[in-house]
Amino acid sequence: EIAYYQNKFIDVDSPALPIDERGHQFGDGVYEYIRVYDGTPLFLDEHLDRLEKSAAEIKLTLPYRRDEITGIIYEGIKRSSLKEAAVYFQITRGIAPRNHSFPNVKAVFSMTVKKATIFTDEARTKGISVMLRQDERWANCFIKSLNLLPNVLSKQEAIEKGYDEAIFVHEDFVREGTSCNVFMVKDGTLYTPPATRHILHGITRKAVLDCAREYNIPVREQAINTTFFKNCDEAFITSTSIEIMPIYSIEDQILPKERPVTERLYSAYQNFYKQEV
């Protein structure tokens, strides 16, 4: 495992943050999370595209060029000696005496490269339970910002109530999970909420939609209400870390055990990183 802060590689447990760093004072920054399979980061270009978009949306000038960030990521993976890894990196508006207006300082890049969480086949067969939670976040959730307090509180609420995850709902329409996108299958068609400003445009979400189109599974990106969600044939969440994970229950509604479409999509998704056999 390895970390990076202020232009140099450091140990993951070495103290790094100056007290006046805007990341922890304001959550004033953006981040990305990339999965590394067999030493290679998956969808690196897509993650860097989204990073640039998030940064532009909050008027943050990145401290390094794109090829420099790519170089730091590859160097970090190399130094970590990990094959199956997760790269977390964030860029904050820098270090300056606490004041809401933008300081005239360089943005700060930090990164950790850690072991990826591997989910067992048993965990994937079981799937997860979810609750529905009113979305109290702001109107720009397509920006991958460091401000995650509603996500943190909702995830904790789910766990305290005995669920694995909370799915945000607004006026009866399903949006996304606290750190994942959400899909469902009804009568052979794959449904997911549209990529509006109210959800993160997940890289895994896009990859799953591409897989579905390739397999001629009909796809609808449309508004989905909670009744439709609870009455679906299959449902799953997606994210870089969890890939595709089935949902086995939505509050008191138990979903069918057969998941033919989810299974096809999961095996298709694995082709993005598995060596051909």
Please give the residue ranges that form the binding site for ligand PMP (CB under 6 A): 33, 176, 179-181, 200, 202-205, 238-240
Q: What is the 8-class DSSP label of residue 38? A: T
User: Active-site residue 144, yes or no?
Assistant: yes
Helix axes 203-214, 260-270, angle to 10 degrees: 110
Beta carbons of 125 and 262 less than 8 angstroms apart: no
Quote the least distance from Cβ 169 to ligand PMP, whole Å: 14
Q: Which amino acid is at 18?
A: P
Unique residue bearing structure tokens 């999970």: 177
Residue 95 vs 111, nearer CB to ligand PMP: 111
Nearer to ligand PMP, 4 or 43 (CB): 43
For residues 9 and 142, which CB has a smaller minimum distance to ligand PMP in the complex?
142
Q: Which residues contact 121 (CB under 8 A, 6 or more apart)?
A: none
Helices (H), 161-250: 203-214, 226-230
Q: Give whichever of 95 and 205 is closer to ligand PMP, judged by the CB atom.
A: 205
Residues 129, 248 contacting (CB under 8 angstroms): yes
Q: Both tokens of residue 163?
A: 């669920």
Closest distance of CB 43 from ligand PMP, Å: 8
| CA–CA distances in Å: residue 149 to residues 27, 67, 137, 155, 187 | 10, 32, 9, 10, 37
CB of 244 to ligand PMP, least distance (A): 10
N- to C-terminal Cα separation, the chain: 30
Residues 6+ apart with CB under 8 A from 192: 181, 182, 183, 184, 205, 208, 209, 219, 220, 221, 224
Cβ atoms of 162 and 192 closer than 8 Å: no
Amino acid symbol at 79: R
> Shortest approach of ligand PMP to residue 101 CB, angstroms?
28
Residues contacting residue 81 through CB under 8 Å, at least 6 positions apart = none
Starting from the edge strand earliest in sequence, which strands make up the sheet with 108-115, in order?
Answer: 8-10, 2-5, 108-115, 85-92, 29-37, 40-41
Task: Give whichever of 93 and 205 is closer to ligand PMP, judged by the CB atom.
Answer: 205
Based on CB atoms, which residue is closest to ligand PMP, 202 or 246? 202
Task: Compute the least distance from the CB of residue 246 to ligand PMP, in Å.
Answer: 16
Active site residue: 8, 53, 114, 144, which one? 144
Residues labelled catalytic? 144
